[in-house]
């Protein structure tokens, strides 16, 4: 749903003021990190865990109705075409690669057929998809030629790594509060809300500044804030001050909010109007796949560390979580490298001149 909304608003704006457009798009989604963990905690405390999935059904139906009635293309569309071959290669390829690290923690290492086989199959399927996408004469499922644009490549690389930080840490944070601190799911959800508040605080300023000075300084500052807000959790123990941890989440959220808005805006620079739908799809895939990989890899690291420290009680568990948070911090810092390829000054995108 979100790529459709991004596509619609970017086309309607003619590629201008992309930072403020992304800030506008992100406003409703920011309430998820604030109220989502709390609602999730209420559901787990009061209802069956299956309601975590059932609760999405009415919201999805409402979203479909609103999209059907309110979203109309600003330019004529050709007849839709679905790349069946690309779908048959890309989806199982990604699923196989994601499955492999989940088995590493279970099998205590990579040297098992249940790890090696899906990893090899996934790499082969992704390679076949790349060949198909570059050779097909029809629109591919994911247009890899977009990665010829430097700002687009840099933006999606940062989005991928940001997915590690956002979704991977969202796995670690509630587990830390529940397993190490002994908090209930509801209270753990309340303790996560400051991260959403931090994202809300930087939303408007990040969008405006991105349009004025370009995305690179905003992303660099955002990555630095995200890393700073993660440091406290690498040292967190059984009795670490909750106020300190809450303030760290505000700082972390402020950085994540700035990063997301700035790189989404940069992703559309140099993209032609007819390429906007493909660009919207790729940016969303990069973020989601990064989140999936981040969750799988950090879960693997945490499982391995918990097994190593199983004799240490709560102190050992806290140490295991600290190691996992160090890895999350490392993935965040790595994002500084592709961020250096983002534009320094705001430029007029190709969409604006059409």
**Whether 204 and 266 share a structural domain:** yes
> What pLDDT is stored for residue 200 in this prediction?
83
Q: What is the mean pLDDT of residues 140-155?
A: 84
- Furthest C-alpha separation in the chain: 65
pLDDT at 353 over 50: no
**Whether 105 and 253 share a structural domain:** no
Structural domain harbouring 87? 83-140
Q: What is the mean pLDDT of residues 76-102?
A: 81
Q: What is the mean pLDDT of residues 125-139?
A: 91
**Whether 135 and 206 share a structural domain:** no
Using pLDDT thresholds of 50, 70 and 90, give the confidence band for residue 349. very low
| Domain end residue (candidates: 120, 140, 160) | 140
Q: What is the mean pLDDT of residues 179-202?
A: 87
**Whether 48 and 185 share a structural domain:** yes
> What pLDDT is stored for residue 1 in this prediction?
46
Find the radius of gyration of the CA atoms of the chain.
21
Residue 222 phi, psi (nearest 5)? -65, -40
Among 35-49, 146-160, 162-176, the range with the most confident prediction by mean pLDDT is 146-160
Residue pair 203/27 in contact by the 8 Å Cβ criterion: yes
pLDDT at 89 over 60: yes
| Domain end residue (candidates: 115, 140, 165) | 140
The SS3 assignment for 241 reads coil
CA angle (341 as vertex; 339, 347 as ends), nearest 5: 105
Question: pTM of the prediction?
Answer: 0.77
**Whether 101 and 160 share a structural domain:** no
pLDDT tens digit sequence for 225-269? 999 999 999 999 888 999 999 999 999 989 988 888 888 777 777
Q: How many domains does the chain have?
A: 2
Q: Residue 300 sits in a domain of what CATH number?
A: 1.20.1250.20
**Whether 116 and 224 share a structural domain:** no
Least confident of 238-242, 255-259, 275-279, 310-314: 275-279
DSSP assignment string, 215-230? HHHHHHHHHHHHHHHH
**Whether 267 and 245 share a structural domain:** yes
**Whether 155 and 184 share a structural domain:** yes
Q: How far is CA 201 from each of CA 198, 252, 254, rounded to the nearest angstrom?
A: 5, 11, 6
pLDDT at 60 over 80: yes
More confident residue, 188 or 108: 188
**Whether 91 and 73 share a structural domain:** no
**Whether 132 and 265 share a structural domain:** no
Half-sphere exposure for 337 (CA within 13 Å, toward CB): 8
DSSP assignment string, 44-102? HHHS-TTHHHHTHHHHHHHHHHHHHHH---SS--PPP---HHHHHHHHHHHHHHHHHHH
**Whether 234 and 267 share a structural domain:** yes
pLDDT at 105 over 70: no
| Domain end residue (candidates: 124, 140, 156) | 140
Q: What is the mean pLDDT of residues 333-342?
A: 86
Q: What is the mean pLDDT of residues 103-109?
A: 66
How far apart, in whole angstroms, are the C-alpha atoms of residue 102 and residue 261? Answer: 30
**Whether 203 and 110 share a structural domain:** no
């Amino acid at each position: 749903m979100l790529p459709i909304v991004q596509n619609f608003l970017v086309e309607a704006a003619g590629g201008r003021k992309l930072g403020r457009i992304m800030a506008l798009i992100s406003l409703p989604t920011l309430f998820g990190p604030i109220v989502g963990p709390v609602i999730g905690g209420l559901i787990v405390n009061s209802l069956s865990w299956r309601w975590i999935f059932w609760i999405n059904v009415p919201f999805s139906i409402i979203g479909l109705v609103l999209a059907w009635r309110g979203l109309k293309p600003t330019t004529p569309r050709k007849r839709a075409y679905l790349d069946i071959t690309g779908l048959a290669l890309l989806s199982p390829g990604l699923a196989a690669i994601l499955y492999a690290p989940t088995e590493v923690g279970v099998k205590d290492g990579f040297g098992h057929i249940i790890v090696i086989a899906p990893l090899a199959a996934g790499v082969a399927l992704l390679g076949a998809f790349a060949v198909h996408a570059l050779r097909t004469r029809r629109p591919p499922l994911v247009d890899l030629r977009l990665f010829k644009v430097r700002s687009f490549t840099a933006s999606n690389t940062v989005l991928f790594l940001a997915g590690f930080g956002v979704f991977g840490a969202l796995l670690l944070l509630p587990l830390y509060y529940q397993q190490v601190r002994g908090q209930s799911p509801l209270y753990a959800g309340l303790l996560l809300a400051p991260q959403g508040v931090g994202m809300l605080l930087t939303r408007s300023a990040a969008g405006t500044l991105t349009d004025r000075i370009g995305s690179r300084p905003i992303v660099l500052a955002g990555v630095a804030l995200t890393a700073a807000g993660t440091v406290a959790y690498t040292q967190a123990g059984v009795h670490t001050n909750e106020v300190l941890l809450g303030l760290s989440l505000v700082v972390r959220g402020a950085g994540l909010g700035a990063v997301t808005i700035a790189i989404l805006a940069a992703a559309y620079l140099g993209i032609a109007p007819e390429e906007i739908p493909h660009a919207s799809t790729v940016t969303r895939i990069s973020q989601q796949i990064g989140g999936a990989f981040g969750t799988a890899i950090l879960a693997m690291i945490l499982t391995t560390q918990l097994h190593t420290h199983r004799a240490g009680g709560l102190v050992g568990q806290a140490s295991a979580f600290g190691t996992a948070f160090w890895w999350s911090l490392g993935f965040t810092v790595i994002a500084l490298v592709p961020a250096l390829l983002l534009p320094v000054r705001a430029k007029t995108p190709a969409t604006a001149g059409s």
